[in-house]
Structure 1
Amino acid sequence: MEISYWVVAALLAAFYLFAGGKKAVQSQERLRPMMGWVDTVPMPLVRVIGVLEILGAAGLILPPLTGIAAWLAVAAAGGLVLIQIGGITVHLSRGEARMIGLNIVLLAAAAAAVWLGTTWL
C-alpha cells in the first residue's frame, strides 16, 4: 500500500504543481488555449484554484515524507477530489462533456490517494 500511495501521490503532485503553477502566474491570454473556461471564471478565482492545487500537491508529499501530521495528506487528496468535482461541473455547465476525461482520471486518482492514505498513513 505504501508504494501505491507514493506512486499515485507523486503523479498527482507533478500534475498539480505544473497545472496549478500555470494558473497561479500566467495571464488569461496565455491560459486560454489550454483552458477555455478561464473566460467565464474571474481571474482572481483562477489564481486561487492554482494556489490550492499547488498546496494540494505539497500536502500529498510533505506530511507523509516528514511524518508530521500525516493525516494532512488525506485532507489534501480530498481537496483535490473537490477541485475535480468543480472542474467537471464547470465543463458540463459550458456544454463541454467531451472535455471531462482528464478530470475523471484525476478525480479517480485523488480518490485512490484518499483511500490509500487512510489505509497506510
Structure 2
Amino acid sequence: MNVALWIVAGLLAAVALFGGATKVLVPRAKLAEAPGGQWTASAGDGFVKTLGGLEMLAAVGLILPAVVGVAPFMVPVTAVCWVLLMVGAMVAHGRRGEAKFVALNLVYLALAVFIAVGRFGAW
C-alpha cells in the first residue's frame, strides 16, 4: 500500500506543479485561450497567480514532508486541501458546462482522497 501511496502522491504532485507553474508563469490572456482555461478570462490576475502558487505549494506538501521525515502529517493535510481545491474546480467547470474537466477534477479528487485516507492511517 505504501508504494501505491507514493506513486499516487508523485503523480498528483506532478499535476499540481505543472498546473500551478502554468498559472504563475503563463499570462492570463493566454490561459483563457487554452482548453479548460477559459475561466481565467473572468478572474483577476492576482487570483490566478495565487491559485497557481497554492498548487505549487501543494506539490511540495504532497511529497517533501514524507521524504524528509519532518511533519509527515502534512501530506494527508495537503491531500485534504487538494480535495477542497478540486471541489472548487469542479464547481467552476460545471458552471461553464465543461463536463470533461469536471470529470478530470473528480479523478484528481479521488487520488487525493486515496492519499489522505492512506496517510492518515485508515488502511
TM-score, length of structure 1 as denominator length = 0.93
Q: Deviations over 1:12-49 (max 9, x none)?
A: 01111111100012101221213111012212111111
Task: State the aligned residue count.
Answer: 120
Q: Give distance in 2, aligned partners of 1:96 and 1:4.
A: 30
Match of 1:31 in 2: 31
Match of 1:118 in 2: 120
TM-score, length of structure 2 as denominator length = 0.91
Match of 2:6 in 1: 6
**Aligned-pair CA distance for 1:4:** 1.3
Q: Spell out structure 1 runs of 4+ moving beyond 3 A.
A: none
Q: Give distance in 2, aligned partners of 1:79 and 1:88.
A: 14
Letter in 2 for 1:57: A
**Aligned-pair CA distance for 1:99:** 2.8
The answer to whether the aligner puts 1:62 opposite 2:64 as a matched pair is yes
Q: Give distance in 2, aligned partners of 1:7 and 1:79.
A: 19
Match of 2:44 in 1: 42
What secondary structure, in the 3-state scheme, does the structure 2 residue paired with 1:68 have? coil
Root-mean-square deviation (CA), in Å? 1.3
Letter in 2 for 1:58: V
Counterpart of 1:96 (choices 84, 98, 101) is: 98
**Aligned-pair CA distance for 1:91:** 1.1
Match of 2:84 in 1: 82
Letter in 1 for 2:94: L
Q: Deviations over 1:54-81 (max 9, x none)?
A: 1011001000001100001111111111
Give structure 1 stretches of 5+ with no counterpart. Answer: none
Contact 2:83 2:113 in 1 (8 A): yes
Q: Give distance in 1, aligned partners of 2:73 and 2:115.
A: 12
Contact 1:9 1:61 in 2 (8 A): yes
